[in-house]
């Protein structure tokens, strides 16, 4: 049948080609002209002057002419651009005529006007026939409503749970899913039912998609993977159609796993639109809710989804029966980071002096993606320096590069600016070292990085970062340390010579003080009260806009309390630096000479100096 229609189409194209092309070849065949000889222009003019030419037939463009001599012979001549030619012909009584432009016939004009419609109709007819037959590339035009999920009947991602480290809790949850698919009798024997959906929640880079790849590698069942954004198109109803098609395919291959990456693209809360909530994304979500737990069950289909924005997901999507479990894939702790570094160090040549344990302790708060990028940057630095192994120096430089950007070693700094930056960073480091219960100084540098003229690196407490609990004392110390650079400039150069280098520090201090008063209830006058509710619309800035729920008098009190906290931090930083001015000068001299001072050198300086440590209030 297909061959028959193909022959018909080819025949139609052949007829069309004959209709269009034939006139171009045979349009003048009905009036053949006798063959004429060629004549040079000079001979032509000479014969006109001798009255041997009786008739001249000029071409429409006046480029050539057919001539008839008095004895009846014919000839052709190429005319020169001679403005006196017509006068010459008229003076010698030559009959002059001009050939008319050849106009296509009525039937040719009609054929020309039908070319585009015929081609359009023929192309559409061809596409429809191919779509009905279900084969060929033309079928893609009719597959808007088909699911774009990648199907792996025998998953071969080459990733297993052995390649995933630092997220043991999440691995345990997903291992149960894989075990149920492999050995369902073990669970059904005690009346247990496996969760229909598992939602992986966590910050970017913590390994949610990597866990899904590991599930695909471990499971011996068909695996469907798709992104949330692939459901939504500009055409109405396409998203819902793709959801239906995805689950129809999954039902045919059950038991199976469906992985939806970035589900927040399609699963956002409904009712936030301005047109009554009947938009394409909401219809897609409605269809997804129905397929996951609607009138008809989907036995044997397990859905694994990932997002870093669980707060924007619709409540109907999060209820038991759809996503029964929420697995938090958080930033790894020290042990997790050590395992992740071991995984990513497999393909890299590390020198014997590299201690991954120290690297793990220096990188609190890093995600799996951050650690992978860290070791890759270290390997790139080693290759750039023509080294055969990655040493501690490359790893240390990579950590600082990831945290603050690349060094600007080629930048030219005047001696005055260099010493000013040295005093500024020495102020930060000295206040941080002498504040009780604060993070230890790791490194001090006056080499510009990114937008910063210099940097003081502190080693955050592992316990504080994991728990997220910061005491009032720690926050007050943090503000004092941030003001240490500005205070050092004032002590050394005077208040009239301070610079704008502390602008970021001042913003940090103001933000910390305001959060202590309005969010953490650390105000003596207002007490343990949280002020300012974040109740903006879902898509109208809820995360950045806060509703004011207090009076003008309370607002004035907040401003007063913020000013008091900043003033207290300023006094504490000033007292530390004034009492230890000699240490400040010596540390600044070391920075000017060496550009960097590490933790060991800084500790030696504090030990041999007469450092005054007291309760700075």
CATH code (residue 65): 3.30.720.210
Peptide bond into 217 cis (omega under 30): no
Helix runs in 92-146, H state only: 106-113, 115-133
Residue 614 within any structural domain of the chain: no
Please tell me the least confidently modeled range out of 63-72, 407-416, 518-527: 407-416
393 and 486 co-located in one domain = no
265 and 344 in one domain? no
**Looking at residue 245, which CATH number applies to its domain?**
3.40.50.300
Max CA separation in the chain (angstroms): 132
Contacts of 186 (CB under 8 A, 6+ apart): 179, 180
Same domain, 357 and 300: no
Q: How far is CA 66 from CA 32, 43, 44, 392, in A?
A: 14, 14, 11, 93
Give the pLDDT band (50/70/90) at residue 170: confident
Pick the range with the lowest mean pLDDT from 97-106, 136-145, 177-186, 214-223: 136-145
Q: In percent, how much of the chain has pLDDT > 70?
A: 78
Q: Is the pLDDT of residue 6 over 70?
A: no
Identify whether residues 21 and 161 lie together within a single domain: no
Total structural domains in the chain? Answer: 5
**462 included as an active-site residue:** no
* Nearest CA-CA partner of 20 in 108, 148, 134: 108
Distance of CA 158 to the CA centre of its chain: 25
Lowest-pLDDT choice from 122-136, 264-278, 328-342, 521-535: 122-136
Domain that holds residue 132: 1-27+116-143
How far is residue 496 from each of residues 490, 500, 571, measured CA to CA in Å? 8, 12, 19
Please, is 258 exposed, middle or buried when counting C-beta atoms within 10 Å of its C-beta (0-12, 13-18, 19+)?
A: buried
Domain boundary (345, 373, 404) is at: 404
pLDDT level of residue 588 (50, 70, 90 thresholds): very high
Query: Residue 476 has what pLDDT?
Result: 92
Tell me the mean pLDDT in the region 418-433.
92
**Would 181 be classed as within a structural domain?**
yes
Chain centre distance of CA 106: 59
Instruction: Dig out the tokens for 14 from the structure.
Output: 């052949």
pLDDT of residue 14: 46
Residue 573 and residue 588 in contact, taking contact as beta carbons nearer than 8 Å: no
Residue 615 covered by a domain: no
Per-residue pLDDT, 533: 66
**Do β-strands 95-98 and 53-58 pair in parallel, antiparallel, or remain unpaired?**
parallel
Q: Tell me: do 166 and 78 sit in the same domain.
A: no
> What is the predicted pLDDT for the residue at 140?
44
Residues 448 and 519 in one domain: yes
Rounded mean pLDDT, 236-251: 79
Tell me, yes or no, whether 578 lies in a domain.
Answer: yes
Last residue of a domain, one of 289, 308, 328: 328
Residue 47 inside a domain? The answer is yes
Q: How far apart (Å, rounded) are the C-alpha atoms in residues 488 and 497?
A: 11
| Predicted confidence (pLDDT) at residue 387 exceeds the cutoff of 60 | yes
Q: How far apart are CA 58 and CA 40, in angstroms?
A: 15
CA-closest candidate to residue 361, choices 465, 210, 473: 465
β-bridge mates for residue 249, sequence order: none
Average pLDDT over residues 338-362: 88
Peptide bond into 307 cis (omega under 30): no
pLDDT grade for 32, boundaries at 50, 70 and 90: very low
The Cβ-side half-sphere exposure at 499, using a 13 Å CA radius, reads 14
Structure confidence at residue 153 (pLDDT) = 59
Whether 180 and 323 share a structural domain? yes
- Give the pLDDT mean for 212-238: 75
> Of the listed 394, 425, 561, 595, which one is catalytic?
425
Does one domain contain both 202 and 247?
yes
Q: Of 187-201, 270-284, 453-467, 560-574, which one has max mean pLDDT?
A: 560-574
For the cut 70, the answer to whether the pLDDT of residue 427 exceeds it is yes
Mean pLDDT of 462-476: 85
- CATH no. for residue 544? 1.20.58.760
Is the model's pLDDT at 274 over the cut of 90?
no
DSSP annotation of 581 reads H
Is the pLDDT at 465 greater than 50? The verdict is yes
Please state the rounded mean pLDDT for residues 220-237: 72
Same domain, 83 and 214: no
CA dist., res. 548 & res. 491, Å (int): 40
Strand pairing partners for 507? none
The arithmetic mean of pLDDT across residues 308-313, rounded, is: 86
pLDDT band at residue 287 under the 50/70/90 scheme = confident
**Banded model confidence at residue 239, pLDDT cuts 50, 70, 90:** confident
Average predicted confidence (pLDDT) for the chain: 79
pLDDT class for 12, splitting at 50, 70, 90? low
More confident residue, 1 or 611: 611
Q: Which of 3-17, 228-242, 385-399 has the highest mean pLDDT?
A: 385-399
Q: Specify whether 480 is located in the same domain as 499.
A: yes
Q: What would the mean pLDDT of 34-39 be, rounded to a whole number?
A: 68
pLDDT (0 to 100) of residue 237: 61
Q: Which of 278-287, 292-301, 352-361 has the lowest mean pLDDT?
A: 292-301
Residue 294 lies in a domain: yes
Whether 22 shows a pLDDT value over 50: the answer reads no
Q: Is 205 helix (H, G, I), strand (E, B) or coil?
A: coil
Q: Is position 616 within any domain?
A: no
β-pairing, 301-307 with 256-261?
parallel
Selected residue with higher pLDDT from 155 and 64 = 64
Q: Are residues 3 and 134 in the same domain?
A: yes
**What does the pLDDT read at residue 507?**
93
Residue 59: the pLDDT is 82
CA–CA distance, 329 with 172 (Å, rounded to integer): 12
Q: Is residue 565 part of a domain?
A: yes
Indicate if 603 and 456 belong to the same structural domain. Answer: yes
Among residues 328, 359, 387, the one where a domain terminates is 328
Mean pLDDT value of segment 69-80: 84
Residue 474 has pLDDT above 70, yes or no: yes
Q: Which residue has the higher pLDDT, 461 or 294?
A: 461
3-class state of residue 54 by DSSP: strand
């Amino acid at each position: 049948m297909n061959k028959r229609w193909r022959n018909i189409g080819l025949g139609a194209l052949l007829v069309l080609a004959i209709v269009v092309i034939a006139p171009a070849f045979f349009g003048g065949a009905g009036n053949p002209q006798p063959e004429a000889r060629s004549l040079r222009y000079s001979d032509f003019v000479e014969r006109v002057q001798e009255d041997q030419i009786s008739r001249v037939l000029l071409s429409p463009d006046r480029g050539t002419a057919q001539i008839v001599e008095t004895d009846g012979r014919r000839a052709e001549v190429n005319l020169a651009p001679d403005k006196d030619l017509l006068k010459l012909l008229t003076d010698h009584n030559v009959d002059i005529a001009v050939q008319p432009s050849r106009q296509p016939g009525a039937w040719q004009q009609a054929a020309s006007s039908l070319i585009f419609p015929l081609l359009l109709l023929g192309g559409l007819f061809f596409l429809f026939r191919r779509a009905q037959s279900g084969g060929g590339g033309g079928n893609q035009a009719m597959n808007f409503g088909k699911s774009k999920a990648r199907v792996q009947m025998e998953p071969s991602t080459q990733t297993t749970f052995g390649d995933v480290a630092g997220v043991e809790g999440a691995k345990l949850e997903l291992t149960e899913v894989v075990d149920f698919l492999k050995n369902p009798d073990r669970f059904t024997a005690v009346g247990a039912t496996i969760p229909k959906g598992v939602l992986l929640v966590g910050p970017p880079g913590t390994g949610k998609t990597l866990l899904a790849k590991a599930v695909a590698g471990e499971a011996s069942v068909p695996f469907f993977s798709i992104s949330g954004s692939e459901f939504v198109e500009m055409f109405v109803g396409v998203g819902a159609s793709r959801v239906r098609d995805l689950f129809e395919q999954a039902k045919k291959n059950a038991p199976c796993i469906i992985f939806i990456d970035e589900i927040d693209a399609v699963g956002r809360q409904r009712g936030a639109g301005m047109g009554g909530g009947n938009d394409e994304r909401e219809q897609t979500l409605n269809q997804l809710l129905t397929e996951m737990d609607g009138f008809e069950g989907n036995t044997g289909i397990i859905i694994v989804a990932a997002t870093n924005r669980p707060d924007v997901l619709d409540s109907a999507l999060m209820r038991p029966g759809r996503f029964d479990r929420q697995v938090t894939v958080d930033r790894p702790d020290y042990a997790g980071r050590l395992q992740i570094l071991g995984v990513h160090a497999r393909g890299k040549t590390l020198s014997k002096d590299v201690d991954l344990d120290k690297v793990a302790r220096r990188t609190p708060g890093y995600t799996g993606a951050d650690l992978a990028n860290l070791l890759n940057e270290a390997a790139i630095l080693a290759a750039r320096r023509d080294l055969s192994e990655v040493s501690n120096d490359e790893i240390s430089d990579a950590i600082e590069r990831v945290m603050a950007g690349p060094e600007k070693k080629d930048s030219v700094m005047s001696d005055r600016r260099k010493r000013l930056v040295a005093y500024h960073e020495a102020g930060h480091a000295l206040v941080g070292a002498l504040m009780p219960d604060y993070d230890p100084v790791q490194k001090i540098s006056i080499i510009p990085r990114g937008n910063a003229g210099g940097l003081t690196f502190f080693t955050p407490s592992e316990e504080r970062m994991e728990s997220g609990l910061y005491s009032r004392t720690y926050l007050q110390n943090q503000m004092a340390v941030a003001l240490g650079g500005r205070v050092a400039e004032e002590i050394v150069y005077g208040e009239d010579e301070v610079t704008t280098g502390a602008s970021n520090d001042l913003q940090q201090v103001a933000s910390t003080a305001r959060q202590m008063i309005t969010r953490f209830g650390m105000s003596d006058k207002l007490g343990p009260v949280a002020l300012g509710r974040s109740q903006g619309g879902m898509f109208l800035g809820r995360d950045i806009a806060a509703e004011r729920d207090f009076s003008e008098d309370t607002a004035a009190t907040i401003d007063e309390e913020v000013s008091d906290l900043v003033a207290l931090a300023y006094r504490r930083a000033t007292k530390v630096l004034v009492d230890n001015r000699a240490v400040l000068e010596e540390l600044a001299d070391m920075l000017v000479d060496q550009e960097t001072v590490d933790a060991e050198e800084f500790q030696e300086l504090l030990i041999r100096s007469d450092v005054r440590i007291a309760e700075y209030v």
